[in-house]
Amino acid sequence: MHEFKYRGNELYCEGVGISGIAASVGTPFYLYSYKTLLDHYNKLRDAFRPVKPLICFSVKSNSNLAVLRALVKNGAGLDIVSGGELYRARRAGADPKKVVYAGVGKRRDEIEDAVRAGILLFNVESKEELEEIQRIAASLRKRVNVALRINPDVAPHTHAYVATGKGETKFGLDFETVYGIFASHKRYPNLNIRGVHIHIGSQILDAAPFEKAIKKVLGFVKNRRISVDYFNIGGGLGIIYSMEHPQTARSFAKRVLPLLKRSGLKIILEPGRFISGNSGVLVTKVLYNKTTPRKKFVIVDTGMSDLIRPSLYEAYHNIVPVRIDRDAQRHPEKVDVVGPICESGDFLAKDRPLPPVNKGDLLAVMGAGAYGFTMSSNYNSRPRAAEVMVIKGKFYVVRESENYGDLVRGEKVPKELK
């Protein structure tokens, strides 16, 4: 469910007309619905209420300060994967005691910052990283809480690039190594190894792989008499982009809650896409129609530099007109919706039946709230799009679009070349 709905022939976000926002902000822009963000957060919180989990929103799915603030203000923690995300978490006013930090390549300075900030847990992904955190904790004379990220070797049915819980990926530690670390915990006098963590992948539609991974980890903890307080079951819950039938928060909880309750551990969840994905759309304008002997193209003013998911994962995003033309609706045609970037891979949709559109028409690319703006780039020297949020019937620009000056900021031409 989300708050992007038609009223008459016009697409609205929480009662605010999207054409009006476009007229004021200019295209392309990302548009987020505050209510949808919170609704999704609350759905998960309510479904898991029996274990009172800490829900740490995955910052990398959407790191805009207003998005983070909206969730933090309503009780969320944050799941970070870099020093930059720690900086954002703090700017959004997150309680460090609700911040968890994963990632296989944490740098020394990033670890130091997070230790000083007093985050809840590092999710450690290798033995060398554990040793590095021990050294840093010792030099700062601190005791640091860590969890070990386990790679449970399960195969979720999702795109290979977002499957992280299989044995051959770079993520997490195998069970034997984890056991070895617990057995030799005295080698880490400044660390409290307080938890185990998994995150098996993203856009997972079915509870089965989660259940399998959770069972594997809980079995391991029990059989090997591992003593921990926290079990972080990661993120990865899939959402509806087109015809998917993902498990709901409630049906997911029903499957895994009995296991989690029985464990007696404190539960952490790290959803990203589930909260932010359908809370955002990318609004774009039609620049041209182009017909070749083979195909019809609709060329729009946004592309892979703003939203790379179609190019990178062959992801499907629904594309809808901001203003419906009832006649056009009756005569859909198969088109490729493409952007201005000089790459054949720059497309938003392929062979998609769409009602005919005209130059200047607005389109909304749905489900763009997660891994949209955060994965955007300046490729082809295109300034990044604005981000806008609707809150209680008003819209706010929560990030201005970039300008040409932003594109060359920090660049210098050496005197040699003048």
Ligand X SMILES: *Cc1c(COP(=O)(O)O)cnc(C)c1O
Told to check if 129 binds ligand X by CB under 6 A, we report no
> Which residue number, 269 or 322, has a Cβ lying nearer to ligand X?
269
The single residue of 342, 344, 360, 409 carrying the catalytic annotation is 342
276, HSE (Cβ side, Cα atoms, 13 Å): 31
Q: Burial-class residue 404 by CB neighbours within 10 Å (0-12, 13-18, 19+).
A: exposed
Which region among 24-32, 130-138, 231-239, 307-315 touches ligand X (by CB under 6 A)? Answer: 231-239
Is there a catalytic annotation at residue 13?
A: no
Element at 131 (helix H, strand E): helix 127-139
Told to check if 234 binds ligand X by CB under 6 A, we report yes
For the bound state, the minimum distance from the C-beta of residue 91 to ligand X, rounded and expressed in Å, comes to 20
* CA pair distance 108, 113, nearest whole angstrom: 9
For the bound state, the minimum distance from the C-beta of residue 101 to ligand X, rounded and expressed in Å, comes to 9
Told to check if 309 binds ligand X by CB under 6 A, we report no
Return contacts of 67-75, CB within 8 angstroms, 24+ apart: 67/32, 67/37, 67/276, 67/279, 67/389, 67/398, 68/92, 68/94, 69/93, 70/34, 70/37, 70/38, 70/389, 70/391, 71/37, 71/38, 71/41, 71/275, 74/38, 74/41, 74/42, 75/45
Element at 365 (helix H, strand E): strand 362-365
Told to check if 60 binds ligand X by CB under 6 A, we report yes
CB atoms within 10 A of CB 48: 21
For the bound state, the minimum distance from the C-beta of residue 159 to ligand X, rounded and expressed in Å, comes to 11
Nearest CA among 195, 176, 202, 198 for reference residue 312: 202
Which region among 28-36, 109-117, 211-219, 234-242 touches ligand X (by CB under 6 A)? Answer: 234-242
> Which residue number, 273 or 352, has a Cβ lying nearer to ligand X?
273
Told to check if 372 binds ligand X by CB under 6 A, we report no
Site for ligand X in 40-59 (CB under 6 A): 58
Told to check if 61 binds ligand X by CB under 6 A, we report yes
Answer for which of 172, 235, 321, 339 binds ligand X (CB under 6 A) is 235
Told to check if 230 binds ligand X by CB under 6 A, we report no
For the bound state, the minimum distance from the C-beta of residue 323 to ligand X, rounded and expressed in Å, comes to 32
> Which residue number, 77 or 339, has a Cβ lying nearer to ligand X?
77
Answer for which of 273, 309, 352, 382 binds ligand X (CB under 6 A) is 273
CB 232 within 8 A of CB 265: no
Answer for which of 274, 316, 347, 395 binds ligand X (CB under 6 A) is 274
Tokens of residue 315, six digits: 């992801």
* CA pair distance 205, 242, nearest whole angstrom: 13
> Which residue number, 205 or 349, has a Cβ lying nearer to ligand X?
205
CB 334 within 8 A of CB 351: yes
Answer for which of 62, 202, 302, 376 binds ligand X (CB under 6 A) is 202
Told to check if 152 binds ligand X by CB under 6 A, we report no
Tokens of residue 23, six digits: 């007229």
* CA pair distance 50, 307, nearest whole angstrom: 37
Provide the angle, in degrees to the nearest 10, between the axes of the packed helices 83-91 and 65-73.
60
> Which residue number, 271 or 310, has a Cβ lying nearer to ligand X?
271
Told to check if 209 binds ligand X by CB under 6 A, we report no
Told to check if 272 binds ligand X by CB under 6 A, we report yes
Q: Which residues are catalytic?
A: 342
Name the residues that contact ligand X, by CB under 6 A: 58, 60-61, 79, 81, 102, 199, 202, 234-237, 270-274, 370
